[in-house]
Structure 1
Amino acid sequence: MEPARELSKTLIKNTNNPKLAWQIFKRIASNPSFPSDAFNQSLPVLTRILIGAKMFTEIDALQHLLLTHPPQNSDHPMVLLIRVLAKSGHVNLAISQLQAFRSHHPNKPLSVSLYNLLIRSSLQENLPDCVRFLYEDMIVSRVPPETYTFNLLIGGLCDSGCLEDARKVFDKMCERGCFPNEFTFGILVRGYCRGGRVGEGLELLEVMRRMEVASNIVIYNTLVSAFCKEGKTDEAEKLVEMLREDGHVPNVVTFNSRISALCRTGKVLEASRIFRDMKVDKELGLPQPDTITYNLMLEGFCKEGMMEEAKTLIKSMKEIGVSLKVESYNIWLMGLVRNGMLLEAQVVLNEMAEKGVQPTVVSYNIMMDGLCKNGMLRDAQMVMTLMKNGGVAPDVVSYSILLHGYCKKGMISEANKLLNNMIANGCFPNNYTCNSLLGSLWKEGKVLEAEELLKKMKERGYALNIVTYNIVLDGLCKIGQVDKALETMHELWNQEDAECNDNNSCKPDLITYSSVINALCKDGKLDEAKKKFIEMIGRNVYPDSVIYDIFISNLCKKGKVSSAFRVLKEMEKKGYNKSLQTYNSLVLGLGMKSQFFEMYGLLNEMRERGISPNVSTYNNMIRCLCESSQTDDATKLLDEMLDKGVSPNISTFKLLIRPLCQIGEFRPAQEVFNISISIFGHKETLYSFMFNELVTGDELLEAKDIFMSALDRCFAIGSFSYGDFINKLSKVDMVECATEVLKKMIKKRYTFEPASFMPVIDGLRVKGNKREADEFAELMLEMGSEIKVSNQVNQNTKVFNHRKAVNNNENNWQNILHRDDGSGATLKILNKIQKGWGHERILNMQYPTYDFLDG
């Protein structure tokens, strides 16, 4: 044994110099007097050195050396080489050595353990063809397989989802003189359960009992868990009873399996009852909950939003001394964050440090993710700082969360800085990180920056996948560069280079075609869209309901309803049912064609199929009815929406108010407006819309009430057509109303078009009220001068930060001065301007103050 140890030591010393190790072994092995046992013992050492150095040429040379080596009492040296290669993951090389050995020593038997090793290694490396070859080679070589061999084969087939083949192998075991043991049954039962065939797994348990093969609790636990996942709790209970009949005692794993499965399917209350029994019914011999049980229940409560129950559970864990480790805290953190309880989550994060439980990067990531999703980016940045100060290095997920948050807010420069900071700290972004930034750049219309980032991703060796290219293609389509998108798509199909690590991962998929087809349809290029649809199917990318909905939607919008229904027929033939989107498109299409009977028929069909109409459905119907002057029916639809619990949006009310006003139905329009206010509150957009429609319809007194109320609420008035309103009031001999409105605007310290004064000044002068006309003229001059001064001081800001400035104020002022309508007031103003009249009061103008905002 001494020479063997000496040679092995020498080889190990030369691990870093594998060529020398190989030369030493080759020289000693060629000496016929060298002991055979020493040769065999040092061979695995040398083989591992050669494998580590990837010296496969030398391994082939070693094969030739071993094949000429005289037979030994123990395993042949070639068998040792094969074993080492298989254990090292080089199964193909091991099998080629096996074939070489068989060709040189056809009559030398090989052991079943060698085949078992090779089969197991082939399964680990996911090489099914090698498994098939090895089993056939065993049969040809008359090496009888054993139960363990069949267990390996059955397990491999089950893991590959080939349950039918696994059962065939199971049935052939007896023919080969092997009998299944409890592990055989356990492997196949687990395969059936994972494949959703738990009934067959139960049948196999019955076969096991008939064959009097000793069962184990693992098989029962597997079946119990599978039945619980399918919601078959009664069957699970029966299995627990059967388990007891077979002499087994349900353990904590049995109960955890049930609780886990029930919680995953949302049946937390059932899981809670089992959990309570475990804690209370000790006399029944039930196992006590362990930490896993508590964590399962905590996760179940949190996922279902049962936060009070989760809090109670945490409290009881602390009271009875259940160790709250980082896993429990992370589940609790995730639950709080998902349910929007961010302050409580922050308290928990602090508590971890106080209790001596070091938060992991996962803990911080959970917190940051919740903050970013709620737009609290500054707080998320503070958590990252806290993480660094606590000695926890942010990982790629940490940076990606924050970067994605910046991108969602359109804060591209901050996202870029973070990306550079991330790389500087030695944490290199992954595809998700880069794709987030890439998508945001396209969304913001920053095409050059997006192309530059894509170029950098390629240069730095990122494995660009179809997700990346889908972002690019969608961006191109949205900025109108559909031709470039089509060109890029063509390149993806024809690329043969290594831009993608896995070339197939860059091939256009359903999302790619959806983006391009949608863009073509929107551009009115339906024929080209159809060609892409045909190409997609030809390339084995099969359409889904979304693709069909794109065609139906665009055809309906273009009034081609009959074509849309032909697409619908094809869609249903392929097995896809109409979705809410489909119905909404068809409702719009039929409504645009005034086919209201068919439109209402679709609405009824939706309800019969259990699809509830949404606000878009009703808005489409209301729009089409109003365009056909059927406002009574449209108003009834609003009543129906409210009765059915479908919440209208602001567009719903606008769709109704305008046509009602256009046909002179101002009272119903006012009623609709009042309903909108009761739902949405006093929104500026609703007030301005109603006001403008009333002004257009010359309902000036009602418009005045709306406008005065808007002024009381300090709304911005840029969207109100107050200029037309004041002009109309002055022309219909309601100049007193006009002066009242102007005075209130001035009192509320609004800035507005100075031109609004002119019709009032003219109206007052016509009525002989020259004094008030002069006062308004003075105010007009002051406002015009103030606007001019303000524009000079700050060219890029509004006069009042809390007001919407009116465009072209200075131009309107110039128009007033150059108005040639014979107005005596205008001439008077011009004279006063020449004398510098009124300018001393400009500095006394103050911004409006709203004390209630300070509270």
Structure 2
Amino acid sequence: MEQSSSSTLVKALLKNKKNPRLAWRLYKRIFSSPSQESHVTSLSASPTIARILVQARMQEEMDELHSLILSSSLQNAKASPLLSVVSIFAKSNHIDKAFSQFQFVRSRFPEKGPGIYLYNVLLEGCIKERRVDFVSWLYKDMVLSRIAPHTYTFNLFIRALCDSSCVDAARELFDEMPEKGCNPNEFTFGILVRGYCRVGMPDKGLELLNLMEGFGVSPNKVVYNTIVSSFCTRGRNDDSEKLVEKMRGEGLVPDIVTFNARISALCKEGKVLDASRIFRDMELDEFLGLPRPNRITYNLMLKGFCKVGMLEEAKTLFELIRENYDLCGLPSYNIWLQGLVRHGKFIEAETVLKQMIDKGIWPSIYSYNILMDGLCKLGMLSDANAIVGLMKRNGVSPDSVTYACLLHGYCSVGKVDAAKSLLQEMMRNNCLPNAYTCNILLHRLWKMGRMSEAEELLRKMNEKGYGLDTVTCNIIVDGLCGSGELDKAIAIVKGMRVHGSAALGRLGNSYVGLVDDSMNENNCLPDLITYSTLLNGFCKAGRFAEAKKLFSEMMAQKLQPDSVAYNIFIHHFCKQGKISSAFRVLKDMEKKGCHKSLETYNSLILGLGIQNQIFEIHGLMDDMKEKGISPNICTYNTAIKYLCEGEKVEDATTLLDEMMQKNVTPNVFSFKYLIGAFCKVPDFDMAQEVFETAVSICGQKEVLYSLMFNELLAARQLLKATELLETVLDRGFELGDFLYRDLVESLCKKDELEVASGILRRMIDKGYGFDPAALMPVIDGLGKMGNKKEANEFAEKMMEMASVGKVANKVDPNARDLHQKKQNKYGGNNWQNILHRDDGSGIALKSLTRVKKGWGQGDTSSFQPPRVDYLDYWEDDV
């Protein structure tokens, strides 16, 4: 009777298959009947209604069916139809429903074990949905049910574990197979070898390869190629070559996959010429039995040439690709576009874009975004906007990446208002910004101190559901640390662990409105970047005890410190001269498995230099070279600075030569210390040689000339200083950092009045404004010589300059405003100070008084020539 009723219901459901909603209502009515028989009947028909709902994609009804089955008592019901529903759900990618329902049925019918087929179906669903958490439970249930897995079942288990990087567990299953009466086949080995290679353990994969024959399985190309590719990816080209030879010895001819893996690895490692030789052999020498290059091979070589800047070779190859219909496609054009943009060839890139269209290969959004990214990174925003216009004319709508590139470009040049307008344009064009895009703008607003706008953006991000993630919180923490509000930053970080992004409410004001109870707090947990930002802020403020406490807290949160975190302590300890503390941190760093980086060495060299431990600097640089870490400009400049200060100028010169040999281009600071050291020795010929080298490398920079001039002046080399100043005047350099007034005074004291007055006249004739006090010793000297006419002329010029407000620069109509903003080496020198000087004989004062009577008081406001400050070498020389 029950079977007849079930059959009748199934027929009725199938009859309404084309009207699934009616079929569902019919099923629910029968299921909801108070009759126990009707309830059992509906459960027996559940596979039929499940198939109907799955085919109709009626998600809500499937959820309801699932809930109905789980709420059923299953009294007098059969397990088989319910397990069929499990299979249907698993095959239709509803693995969560399938698994929970399977567990429910197994708990109600523990004695009625399902067949191996259902386990396989569930395993396949777990693999497809990457639900490795179900796999171990399924295996244990099979063991309890005493169902012997087939080799196919083991392969599914091993694949699921390998896909989730659980290779150790996968190997344990592999080793159990013979005990369960199953022998691994070629697929088993292939799956496990691939798993090992994916997690970076190709040697384990090679061990398995060597075991294959012992199990009666012949190695195949797939297994060989997997290991070859893994060796190549990790730069182990010698090992890959040996494996290819072994492959040939097994009678397996390497195919195109093998060769593409080798070429790809060599190109990634920068060995493009080696890759090119293999490519040419494949292309030209058919007698070796090598596979012919395919489209992938050509694109790999094209990308390799572009990566190392071999653009001529890349262009030749691209032309070959473009002429061959079978090879040419959008990926090749995109690789070539990226290569051109990466090396600043924007005009050529735009030409290629037009050629694509002419050839009938329409650029994708990715093609346009390649150009957009390059242009925006260089601040070429007008060109980038032109590309957006071209996109729209060609029917390609900008996507979130396009807008993110533009927005980042605007923010990088400080055009925040334009960036905000762009954000509004995105929303008008139905291209919703994501958290990444908003974070770019948020970071810039915060850095610029536009707090209220940053607060408003945060509020909108929360309202739109973009999610205030860890990156967002890190931006705020970084801004607070940068502005010295460390206590507020630490309060937010502590709140992040409890309240997620709602911790931003601790900022006060309307940030409190950002609290969203529905937000998953785990989306905003402090990470290594959060703690590194805090550590840097506290160390910079000298609050080392609190920084150490934070460090311990970070480790308690199971965040293992990396070299960046350790380097923060090392850098700040070294900067404060606490070199022993820095080396203690270094010892702990290496003990924890973190290796010294370039930043580590740079900090230690700085610390040793501050402590005048010059000999140790040499040892440290030798050590970093042995470790394969190349010194950069900061390394060399720091070492040169302290070698010069320690009177090891010859060693510093050797380092300068080494820099140029290693293609590390010296900058102004590289030469600054050497010039000063040679002038101090003194060895002016060598100082001049270094100066000339500096000019040839760094260009005609005023800072170099002012440096050389001031050093010559300090060494009382007045003639050389005068000659250099004349060169400076001829080149029209600004004089803000030149101690020209000291030169004039020194010349006058040496009775070189004519030379001193000649310098001043040249400065006046060339339209320079300068410190009027420079005229005082000349006026005084001329007065002593009885040359009242010339003395009065200079005095009159002095009054004129003071009233107009000229500075040590070219004549500028805005000089009066400019001089108020700039300082020079001489400090303050207002008009009253000039009139009350007591370093002359009084003749200059008399000359000024005579001129004043003719002029009246006039505007005698103070002024100061400009100053070009040297920047701190650590912060700005890299």
- TM-score category of the 2 structures, normalised to the smaller one: 0.7 to 0.9
1:515 corresponds to which residue?
A: 533
Return closer, same or farther for 1:617/1:477 CA change in 2, 3 Å cut-off.
same
1:721 aligns with 2:739: yes
Is contact 2:643-2:652 (8 Å) kept? no
Give the Cα separation in 2 of the matches to 1:407 and 1:835. 50
1:572 corresponds to which residue?
A: 590
Taking only the aligned residue pairs, the percentage that are identical comes to 48
Amino acid at match of 2:574: C
1:559 corresponds to which residue?
A: 577
Give the Cα separation in 2 of the matches to 1:672 and 1:280. 53
**Offset of residue 330 of structure 1:** 0.7
Partner of residue 234 from structure 1, selected from 222, 230, 241: 241
Return closer, same or farther for 1:113/1:309 CA change in 2, 3 Å cut-off.
same
- Stretch of structure 1 that moved more, 784-793 or 546-555: 784-793
2:400 corresponds to which residue?
A: 396
Amino acid at match of 1:481: E
Is contact 1:14-1:20 (8 Å) kept? no
Partner of residue 51 from structure 2, selected from 24, 40, 44: 44
**Offset of residue 382 of structure 1:** 1.4
Q: Secondary structure at the match of 2:350?
A: helix
Give the Cα separation in 2 of the matches to 1:37 and 1:531. 64
Give the Cα separation in 2 of the matches to 1:602 and 1:47. 68
Partner of residue 826 from structure 1, selected from 841, 848, 854: 848
Give the Cα separation in 1 of the matches to 2:852 and 2:688. 43
Amino acid at match of 1:299: K
**Offset of residue 778 of structure 1:** 4.5
Give the Cα separation in 2 of the matches to 1:485 and 1:52. 45
Give the Cα separation in 2 of the matches to 1:604 and 1:342. 42
Return closer, same or farther for 1:36/1:692 CA change in 2, 3 Å cut-off.
closer
Amino acid at match of 1:552: I
**Offset of residue 491 of structure 1:** 1.8
Deviations 1:645-688 (A, max 9, x none): 36543224333444665687766655543443343232101112
Give the Cα separation in 1 of the matches to 2:477 and 2:72. 59
1:310 aligns with 2:328: no
Return closer, same or farther for 1:83/1:833 CA change in 2, 3 Å cut-off.
same
Is contact 1:47-1:81 (8 Å) kept? no
Partner of residue 641 from structure 1, selected from 650, 656, 673: 656
Give the Cα separation in 2 of the matches to 1:503 and 1:305. 46
Partner of residue 386 from structure 1, selected from 379, 384, 390: 390
1:221 corresponds to which residue?
A: 225
1:170 corresponds to which residue?
A: 174
Q: TM-score, normalised by structure 1?
A: 0.85
Is contact 2:20-2:53 (8 Å) kept? no
Give the Cα separation in 1 of the matches to 2:157 and 2:767. 86
Return closer, same or farther for 1:795/1:622 CA change in 2, 3 Å cut-off.
closer
Deviations 1:472-520 (A, max 9, x none): 2222222222222222222223326668966445332333222222222
Question: Which aligned pairs between 1:434-833 and structure 2 lie closer than 5 A?
Answer: 434-495=438-499, 503-607=521-625, 609=627, 611=629, 613-624=631-642, 627=645, 630-631=646-647, 633-643=648-658, 645=661, 647-658=665-676, 669-696=687-714, 698-784=716-802, 786-787=804-805, 798=818, 812=830, 823-833=845-855
**Offset of residue 712 of structure 1:** 0.5
Give the Cα separation in 1 of the matches to 2:265 and 2:737. 57
**Offset of residue 223 of structure 1:** 3.7
2:865 corresponds to which residue?
A: none
**Offset of residue 814 of structure 1:** 7.2
- What runs of 5+ residues in structure 1 fail to find an aligned partner? 837-855
Partner of residue 154 from structure 2, selected from 150, 153, 159: 150
Give the Cα separation in 1 of the matches to 2:209 and 2:584. 52
Question: Which aligned pairs between 1:73-152 and structure 2 lie closer than 5 A?
Answer: 76-102=80-106, 105=109, 108=112, 110-152=114-156
Give the Cα separation in 1 of the matches to 2:614 and 2:283. 63
Give the Cα separation in 2 of the matches to 1:250 and 1:660. 63
Return closer, same or farther for 1:105/1:317 CA change in 2, 3 Å cut-off.
same
1:428 corresponds to which residue?
A: 432
Give the Cα separation in 2 of the matches to 1:542 and 1:389. 51
**Offset of residue 329 of structure 1:** 0.7
Partner of residue 341 from structure 2, selected from 332, 337, 342: 337
**Offset of residue 11 of structure 1:** 5.8
Give the Cα separation in 1 of the matches to 2:633 and 2:418. 37
**Offset of residue 385 of structure 1:** 1.9
Give the Cα separation in 1 of the matches to 2:303 and 2:245. 27
Return closer, same or farther for 1:304/1:558 CA change in 2, 3 Å cut-off.
closer
Return closer, same or farther for 1:609/1:509 CA change in 2, 3 Å cut-off.
same
Return closer, same or farther for 1:807/1:438 CA change in 2, 3 Å cut-off.
farther
Q: Secondary structure at the match of 1:480?
A: coil
**Offset of residue 138 of structure 1:** 2.6
**Offset of residue 355 of structure 1:** 0.8
Deviations 1:696-715 (A, max 9, x none): 55543332222111110011
2:13 corresponds to which residue?
A: 7
CA-atom RMSD in angstroms? 4.2
Q: Secondary structure at the match of 1:461?
A: coil
Is contact 1:510-1:541 (8 Å) kept? yes
Give the Cα separation in 1 of the matches to 2:394 and 2:271. 39
Return closer, same or farther for 1:600/1:791 CA change in 2, 3 Å cut-off.
closer
**Offset of residue 614 of structure 1:** 4.8
Amino acid at match of 2:411: C
Is contact 1:464-1:499 (8 Å) kept? no
1:59 corresponds to which residue?
A: 66
Give the Cα separation in 1 of the matches to 2:184 and 2:31. 45
**Offset of residue 351 of structure 1:** 0.8
Give the Cα separation in 1 of the matches to 2:195 and 2:247. 20
Deviations 1:47-67 (A, max 9, x none): 666960166455333467794
Q: Secondary structure at the match of 2:526?
A: coil
2:303 corresponds to which residue?
A: 299
Is contact 2:158-2:173 (8 Å) kept? yes
1:841 corresponds to which residue?
A: none
Is contact 1:66-1:78 (8 Å) kept? no
Count of matched residue positions in the alignment of Structure 1 and Structure 2: 826
- Stretch of structure 1 that moved more, 294-303 or 275-284: 275-284
Give the Cα separation in 1 of the matches to 2:39 and 2:497. 61
Q: Secondary structure at the match of 1:705?
A: helix
- What runs of 5+ residues in structure 2 fail to find an aligned partner? 1-6, 503-515, 859-878
Query: Which structure's relative contact order is higher, taking Cα pairs within 8 Å and 6+ residues apart?
Result: 2
**Offset of residue 298 of structure 1:** 1.8
Is contact 1:463-1:499 (8 Å) kept? no
Give the Cα separation in 2 of the matches to 1:574 and 1:70. 60
**Offset of residue 402 of structure 1:** 1.9
Amino acid at match of 1:826: L
Amino acid at match of 2:702: E
Amino acid at match of 2:60: A
Q: Secondary structure at the match of 2:768?
A: coil
Return closer, same or farther for 1:166/1:300 CA change in 2, 3 Å cut-off.
same
Is contact 2:538-2:544 (8 Å) kept? yes
